[in-house]
């Protein structure tokens, strides 16, 4: 079935479920684990559930359907899922709650087996390639009260025009491609999300134009490897383009022209694919934030080789230098895995060395844990847990001292801040973010929400800056 027909079929199921649910005042809850791509998938799940007549609740106890959108990148996600499933058993016995589990973890056969065996009361299991079929799967459960297992092992299609309920009305996530071809040896993503598939440029531009018309000011382009956008489709080699778009760089330039959009971010690029045309596009496009998330993973060339990252410590540092030269005021954030198999003390020192040299705005640090099915899990020389933790603490100390140092540089500067609304910790204050993604807290009227305003930074704290309004 063609993708358009598939989506039309699902729209029919949405109507059928909505009819079943009429006048029942039903609720759904959703737990999202993992990355921004999963968050964007959850926004689509929420969109479908709301169109089927469910209203969101934060309490699992109040929900008529509980959806888990899982991640298999970190070990603790499994514990979290099984803990919640245990809690839900009694609630389901009392009120017949429907339980649906989807996402990356459900693409792993051993996980599905475990759920079937130990948690047989789960109603729906769907994978990353069958997310769009939630209406059909749910309808089958409502009609037949039978369990549905809907997982595809082959790469899924790119489905457009699914309903969506976004979590913000000013910042939007826009997935531009699915899957990954890189097979980093610690990572399970290529096995559970399949090979790279890019969305058609027309669909992306139309989505962002619509977002701008609805008042969205910031978009974050999402993909496992955004800078290989359209590469696996070989658009450039085939001489294809759509309104001049045939690569990630040309896509960035086209989005920069959309009226109403004021900030463009993207995650994550791969350092090995950071081509000059992308650097030039970032330099030339005024709306692209000059904060680049550039995943390092390790600063050691030996470990990078074991990780199958396809760049060296020196190449990473050269890339950073090149960008610093070409893009005024560019700053970086990164991801680092501590304690990958084979990491020696001197390898770890190399990681610290890169952190000292680049001076990242933020470092997302992870302790390596084996993922079943990846080459990393089978490697010898796994690092003992206590050494991993020791190294992690050392890195954390360095990163925090650098953040503190770096934050001081903001004091007295005037920053353009996109106002998100009231601060969660102090509702008398407003909160927003700088172009470099720093949280700023300040006093101001609620009407400032959704605007980009000038704020002078007056003091710094580890995880936020304090400021005062200069102009609106
Ligand atoms: S680039 Fe590497 S780390 Fe990122 S999703 Fe692909 S395999 Fe995983």
DSSP state of 471: E
Average pLDDT over residues 91-99: 95
Half-sphere exposure of 272 (CA within 13 A, CB side): 12
> 72, 74, 188, 190: which to mutate for ligand 1, most atoms within 8 A of CB?
190
Distance 16 CA to ligand 1 centre (A): 39
Q: Which of 68-72, 135-139, 335-339, 425-429 comes out lowest in average pLDDT?
A: 425-429
> 177, 179, 180: which to mutate for ligand 1, most atoms within 8 A of CB?
180
Atom of ligand 1 nearest to the CA of 193: 5
Contacts 24+ apart (CB under 8 A), 392-400: 392/338, 392/339, 392/365, 392/367, 394/348, 394/352, 395/336, 395/338, 395/348, 395/351, 395/352, 395/355, 395/363, 395/365, 396/365, 398/352, 398/355, 398/356, 399/355, 399/360, 399/363, 399/365, 400/462
pLDDT score at 425: 86
Q: Check: CATH 3.30.750.210 for 168-286?
A: yes
Residues near ligand 1 (Cβ within 6 A):
180, 182-184, 187, 189-190, 224-225, 270
pLDDT score at 18: 97
Position with higher pLDDT, 72 vs 228: 228
Average pLDDT over residues 50-76: 93
Residue 134 has pLDDT above 80, yes or no: yes
pLDDT score at 472: 64
pLDDT score at 221: 98
pLDDT score at 1: 63
In three-state secondary structure terms, 239 is: coil
Mean pLDDT in the chain?
A: 95
Average pLDDT over residues 378-393: 97
Atom of ligand 1 nearest to the CA of 270: 1
Give CA angle at 420 (418, 422), nearest 5°: 135
From the options 3.40.50.150, 3.90.850.10, 3.40.50.12160, 3.30.930.10, give the CATH code of 3-150.
3.40.50.12160
Atom of ligand 1 nearest to the CA of 188: 8
Class of domain 414-471: mainly beta
Instruction: Please confirm whether the linkage preceding 268 is cis (ω < 30° from 0).
Output: yes
Residue 151 has pLDDT above 80, yes or no: yes
Q: Check: CATH 3.30.750.200 for 290-408?
A: yes
- H or E segment to which residue 3 belongs: helix 3-21
Atom of ligand 1 nearest to the CA of 225: 1
- Confidence category of residue 75, pLDDT binned at 50, 70, 90: confident
Q: Which of 181-190, 233-242, 318-327, 450-459 comes out lowest in average pLDDT?
A: 233-242
> 34, 71, 187: which to mutate for ligand 1, most atoms within 8 A of CB?
187
Rg of the Cα trace of the chain? 23
Rounded distance between C-alpha atoms, residue 70 and residue 35, angstroms? 10
Share of the chain above pLDDT 90, in %: 91
- H or E segment to which residue 99 belongs: strand 98-103
Residue ranges covered by each domain of the chain:
3-150, 168-286, 290-408, 414-471
Average pLDDT over residues 226-232: 95
Share of the chain above pLDDT 70, in %: 100
pLDDT score at 236: 87
Nearest CA to ligand 1 atom 8: 187
- On the question of a common fold for 3-150 and 290-408, the answer reads no
Nearest CA to ligand 1 atom 1: 182
Residue 294 has pLDDT above 80, yes or no: yes
- H or E segment to which residue 6 belongs: helix 3-21
Nearest CA to ligand 1 atom 2: 184
Nearest CA to ligand 1 atom 4: 224
Q: In the chain, what are the helix, strand and coil shares in percent, each to the nearest 5?
A: 40, 20, 40
């Amino acid at each position: 079935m063609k993708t358009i027909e598939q989506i039309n079929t699902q729209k029919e199921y949405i109507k059928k479920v909505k009819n079943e649910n009429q006048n029942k005042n039903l609720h759904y809850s959703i737990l999202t684990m993992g990355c921004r791509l999963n968050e964007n998938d959850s926004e689509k799940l929420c969109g479908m559930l709301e169109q089927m007549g469910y209203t969101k609740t934060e309490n699992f106890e109040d929900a008529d359907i509980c959806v888990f959108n899982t991640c298999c990148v970190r070990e603790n996600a499994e514990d979290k899922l099984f803990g919640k499933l245990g809690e839900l058993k009694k609630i389901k016995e009392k009120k017949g709650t429907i339980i649906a589990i989807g996402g990356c973890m459900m693409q792993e056969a051993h996980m599905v087996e475990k759920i079937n065996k130990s948690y047989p009361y789960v109603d729906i299991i769907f994978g990353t390639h069958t997310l769009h079929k939630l209406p059909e799967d749910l309808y089958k459960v409502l009609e037949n009260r039978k369990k549905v297992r809907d997982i595809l092992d082959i790469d899924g299609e790119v489905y457009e025009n699914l309903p969506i309920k976004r979590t913000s009305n000013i910042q939007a996530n826009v997935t531009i491609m699915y899957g990954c071809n890189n097979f980093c040896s610690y990572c399970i993503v290529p096995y559970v999300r399949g090979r790279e598939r890019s969305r058609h440029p027309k669909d992306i531009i139309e989505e962002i134009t619509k977002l701008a018309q609805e008042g969205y000011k910031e978009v974050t382009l999402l993909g496992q490897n955004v800078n290989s956008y359209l590469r696996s489709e070989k658009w450039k080699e085939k001489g294809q383009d759509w309104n001049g778009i045939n690569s990630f760089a040309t896509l960035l330039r086209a989005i920069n022209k959309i009226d109403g959009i004021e900030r463009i971010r993207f995650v994550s690029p791969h350092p090995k694919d950071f081509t000059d045309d992308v650097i030039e596009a970032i330099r030339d496009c005024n709306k692209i934030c000059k904060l680049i998330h550039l995943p390092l993973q390790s600063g050691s060339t030996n470990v990078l080789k074991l990780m199958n990252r396809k760049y060296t410590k020196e190449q990473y540092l050269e890339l950073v230098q090149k960008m610093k030269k070409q893009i005024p005021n560019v700053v970086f954030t990164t991801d680092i895995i501590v304690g990958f198999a084979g990491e020696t003390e001197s390898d770890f020192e190399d990681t610290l060395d890169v952190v000292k040299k680049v001076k990242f705005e933020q470092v997302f640090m992870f302790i390596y844990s084996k993922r079943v099915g990846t080459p990393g899990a089978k490697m010898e020389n796994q690092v003992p847990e206590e050494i991993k933790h020791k190294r992690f603490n050392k890195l954390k100390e360095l990163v925090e001292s650098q953040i503190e140092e770096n934050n001081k540089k903001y004091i007295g500067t005037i920053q353009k801040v996109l106002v998100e609304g009231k601060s969660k910790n102090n509702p008398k204050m407003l909160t927003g973010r700088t172009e470099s993604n720093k949280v700023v807290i300040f006093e101001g009227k609620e009407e400032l929400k959704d605007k980009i305003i000038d704020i002078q930074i007056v003091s710094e704290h580890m995880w936020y800056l304090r400021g005062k309004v200069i102009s609106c």
